[in-house]
Amino acid sequence: MAPGTRSLRSASTHKQTTHSHSSKQIIVVDDDSDDSDSGGKSPTRRAPDAKRQRTMDSVHAIDVDEDVIMTDAPPTPPASVAANSAAKNGHLKGRKRFQADFNDIKAQGLEVGGMAVTKFRAGDDEGSVEVTIVDRANGEKRILACSIMVTDTSEYPKHHSYLTWADDSDGAPLAYVATALSAIDSGKSQPLGETLEGLLLRLSPSSNNAPPKLRSPIKKTFRNDDSGSEAAEDDDDSDVAGYEFLDDDDVPGVSSHTGRGKGAADTERMRVVLRVQRDFIEMVPSMYKPGLIPLSASHTQHGTWADSADFCISVSFPVVSLTETIPAQALVAWDRRLLSTSRARHLVLLISGFAGTYPPLASDGSYAASGGKNGGSGPGAGKGGKQLQFQVGVCGSYKPAQSAAVEAGRTFGLLGRDAEDEVREQREKAAREREERLAAWGEGAFDDEMGGVDADTSAGLYGEEPEDEEDDEGDARFERFSLSSALESLLDAQLVKLIWLRRTYGVGWAGAEVIISLSEKQQLGYAAVWATAQEMILAADKEERALARKGTLPHDPLHNLPKTEEINLPYTAFCYLIRRLTLCTRYCLVCHNRINSEFEALKPYVCDTPLCTYQYYTQNRGASLEYEIMHNPDTVDLLVSLAYSAASEGVIDDPLPVGMALRVPPPDQSRVVAAPVARFSHLGGVMPQQGAVPLSTAKVGTDGLVDFDALPKEHMRASIAMMIDSLPSIDEMKRHLERKVKPGKSKPRLQELGNGAILPAAWYILRWCVASCTAYLEEMASSENQRIQGVEGQWRQFRFSVGAPDAEAKFQAALKKATETDANAKKYPSLYAFHGSGLRNWHSIVRHGLWFKTVINGRAYGDGVYLAKEAQTSMGTYAQGGRACWRKSKLGPTSCVAIAEVVNLPAQFVSSNPHFVIKDTEWIVCRYLLVKGLEVPVVDAATKAKEKKQAAIPFVKIDPVQSITMMGKQLQVPQPGYQIDELVHRREGELVEENYDSTDSYIFGATAAPKPVEVIELTDDEDDEPPVSKGKGKGKMWSSLASVAKGKSSASVLPPKGPPKDDWKHDAEYVRRTVELLMPPPVDSTPSATMAVQRELKAMLKEQEKAGKSAGGLKELGWYMPEEFMGDNLFQWIVEMHSFDETLPIAQDLKREGVNSLIFEIRFPPTYPIGPPFFRIITPRFLPFIHGGGGHVTGGGSICMDLLTSDGWLPSYSISAVLMQIKLAISNLDPRPARLASNWRQPYSVGESLAGYKRAAATHNWTVPEGLDKLVR
pLDDT tens for 597-612 read 655 566 777 787 778 8
pLDDT of residue 1086: 83
Give the C-alpha separation, 1167 to 633, whole Å: 57
pLDDT of residue 1049: 35
CB atoms under 10 Å from CB of 853, counted, come to: 8
Contact between 646 and 841 under an 8 Å Cβ cutoff? The reply is yes
Paired with 926 in beta bridges are 900
Give the C-alpha separation, 1000 to 273, whole Å: 10
Give the C-alpha separation, 404 to 473, whole Å: 7
Domain ranges, ordered by start, for the chain: 10-250, 623-677+703-773, 777-945+952-976, 1068-1271
pLDDT of residue 941: 54
pLDDT of residue 70: 35
- Cβ burial, residue 422 (10 Å; 0-12/13-18/19+): exposed
| Phi/psi of residue 194, nearest 5 degrees | -65, -40
- Cβ neighbours for 793, distance < 8 A, ≥ 6 positions apart: 936, 937
pLDDT at 262 over 60: no
| Nearest one of 848, 912, 836 to 875, comparing CA atoms | 836
**Residue 98 DSSP class:** H
pLDDT of residue 333: 77
Alpha-carbon distances, residue 118 vs 38, 40, 527 (angstroms): 15, 12, 79
Give the C-alpha separation, 338 to 613, whole Å: 27
pLDDT at 820 over 50: yes
Q: Mean per-residue pLDDT for 1226-1250?
A: 88
pLDDT at 1031 over 60: no
Give the C-alpha separation, 1055 to 1064, whole Å: 20
Per-residue pLDDT band at 336 (split at 50, 70, 90): confident
Report H helices in 745-795: 760-771
Give the C-alpha separation, 982 to 783, whole Å: 13
Coil/strand/helix, residue 605: coil
pLDDT at 613 over 70: yes
Contact between 115 and 131 under an 8 Å Cβ cutoff? The reply is no
The per-residue pLDDT for range 1149-1159, each reduced to its tens digit, is 999 999 999 99
**Residue 1067 DSSP class:** -
pLDDT of residue 722: 93
Alpha-carbon distances, residue 472 vs 189, 237, 311, 1156 (angstroms): 10, 17, 21, 43
pLDDT of residue 1206: 86
pLDDT of residue 419: 55
Give the C-alpha separation, 937 to 933, whole Å: 9
Contacts 24+ apart (CB under 8 A), 749-756: 749/626, 750/625, 750/626, 750/629, 753/728, 754/728
CA-angle at 416, arms to 412 and 419, nearest 5°: 130
Q: Is 214 left (phi over 0), alpha (psi -120 to 50) or beta?
A: alpha
Q: Mean per-residue pLDDT for 1230-1234?
A: 86
Task: Say what percent of the chain tops pLDDT 70.
Answer: 70
Report for 261-270, 281-290, 345-354, 992-1001: range of highest mean pLDDT:
345-354
What does pLDDT average to over the chain? 74
Comparing 381 with 278, which gets the higher pLDDT? 278
Give the C-alpha separation, 327 to 863, whole Å: 36
Give the C-alpha separation, 147 to 181, whole Å: 10
pLDDT of residue 236: 37
Q: Mean per-residue pLDDT for 1114-1130?
A: 88
Give the C-alpha separation, 265 to 1163, whole Å: 49
Q: Mean per-residue pLDDT for 1232-1243?
A: 90
pLDDT at 105 over 60: yes
Rounded (10°) CA dihedral 1186, 1189, 1191, 1195: -50
- Cβ neighbours for 1200, distance < 8 A, ≥ 6 positions apart: 1192, 1193, 1194, 1256, 1260
Q: Is the peptide bond prior to 359 cis by the omega test (within 30 degrees of 0)?
A: yes
pLDDT of residue 1053: 40
Q: Mean per-residue pLDDT for 1233-1249?
A: 89
| Amino acid, single-letter form, for residue 1023 | D
Per-residue pLDDT band at 305 (split at 50, 70, 90): low
Q: Yes or no: is domain 1068-1271 CATH 3.30.43.10?
A: no
| Nearest one of 807, 741, 43, 850 to 418, comparing CA atoms | 741
pLDDT of residue 1150: 94
Contact between 1038 and 991 under an 8 Å Cβ cutoff? The reply is yes
The per-residue pLDDT for range 836-891, each reduced to its tens digit, is 888 888 888 887 766 555 544 445 677 888 888 888 887 876 767 767 789 899 88
- Cβ neighbours for 974, distance < 8 A, ≥ 6 positions apart: 785, 786, 787, 788, 789, 953, 954, 955, 956
pLDDT at 34 over 90: no
Alpha-carbon distances, residue 819 vs 806, 909, 916, 1113, 1201 (angstroms): 20, 16, 20, 63, 69
Paired with 25 in beta bridges are 63
H or E segment at 182?
helix 174-186
pLDDT at 212 over 60: no
- Domain range 777-945+952-976, CATH architecture: Alpha-Beta Complex (3.90)
H or E segment at 193?
helix 192-203
The per-residue pLDDT for range 943-982, each reduced to its tens digit, is 555 445 444 677 888 888 888 888 778 888 887 666 777 7
Give the C-alpha separation, 10 to 228, whole Å: 25
Report for 221-225, 753-757, 763-767: range of highest mean pLDDT:
763-767
Q: Mean per-residue pLDDT for 213-231?
A: 35
Paired with 1135 in beta bridges are 1160
Give the C-alpha separation, 191 to 184, whole Å: 12
Residue 631: alpha-carbon gap to chain centroid:
15
| Nearest one of 400, 471, 426, 424 to 229, comparing CA atoms | 471
Per-residue pLDDT band at 685 (split at 50, 70, 90): very low
pLDDT of residue 219: 33
141-150/128-135 β-pairing: antiparallel
pLDDT of residue 812: 78
pLDDT at 282 over 70: yes
Q: Is 530 left (phi over 0), alpha (psi -120 to 50) or beta?
A: alpha
- Cβ neighbours for 123, distance < 8 A, ≥ 6 positions apart: 129, 130, 147, 149
- Cβ neighbours for 138, distance < 8 A, ≥ 6 positions apart: 205
Contact between 834 and 840 under an 8 Å Cβ cutoff? The reply is no
Coil/strand/helix, residue 204: coil
The per-residue pLDDT for range 391-420, each reduced to its tens digit, is 999 998 899 988 888 888 775 554 555 555
The per-residue pLDDT for range 1041-1093, each reduced to its tens digit, is 333 333 333 333 444 456 788 889 999 889 988 887 777 788 888 877 887 88
- Cβ neighbours for 777, distance < 8 A, ≥ 6 positions apart: 635, 638, 639, 798, 799, 800, 846, 929
H or E segment at 725?
helix 713-725
Contact between 933 and 893 under an 8 Å Cβ cutoff? The reply is yes
| Amino acid, single-letter form, for residue 1193 | V
Coil/strand/helix, residue 511: helix
Comparing 782 with 56, which gets the higher pLDDT? 782
Give the C-alpha separation, 300 to 297, whole Å: 9
Task: Residue count of the chain, please give it.
Answer: 1273
Radius of gyration of the chain (CA): 36
Alpha-carbon distances, residue 935 vs 634, 875, 889, 890 (angstroms): 11, 18, 10, 7
CA-angle at 1181, arms to 1176 and 1183, nearest 5°: 110
Comparing 296 with 862, which gets the higher pLDDT? 862
Q: Mean per-residue pLDDT for 1242-1267?
A: 85
Q: What is the 3-state secondary structure (H, E, C) of 1145-1160?
A: HHHHHHHHHCCCCEEE
pLDDT at 22 over 60: no
Residue 1048's Cβ-side half-sphere holds a number of Cα atoms within 13 Å equal to: 13
| Phi/psi of residue 123, nearest 5 degrees | -85, -175
The per-residue pLDDT for range 1176-1187, each reduced to its tens digit, is 999 999 998 888
Task: Say what percent of the chain tops pLDDT 90.
Answer: 17
Q: Is the peptide bond prior to 914 cis by the omega test (within 30 degrees of 0)?
A: yes
Contact between 112 and 202 under an 8 Å Cβ cutoff? The reply is no
The per-residue pLDDT for range 161-211, each reduced to its tens digit, is 888 887 765 555 556 777 788 788 777 788 998 899 888 888 876 554 333
The per-residue pLDDT for range 1178-1215, each reduced to its tens digit, is 999 999 888 888 888 988 898 888 888 888 888 878 89
DSSP per residue, 833-860: EEEEE-GGGHHHHHHH-S--SS-SS--T
Give the C-alpha separation, 418 to 961, whole Å: 68
pLDDT of residue 1188: 83
Give the C-alpha separation, 1085 to 1131, whole Å: 8
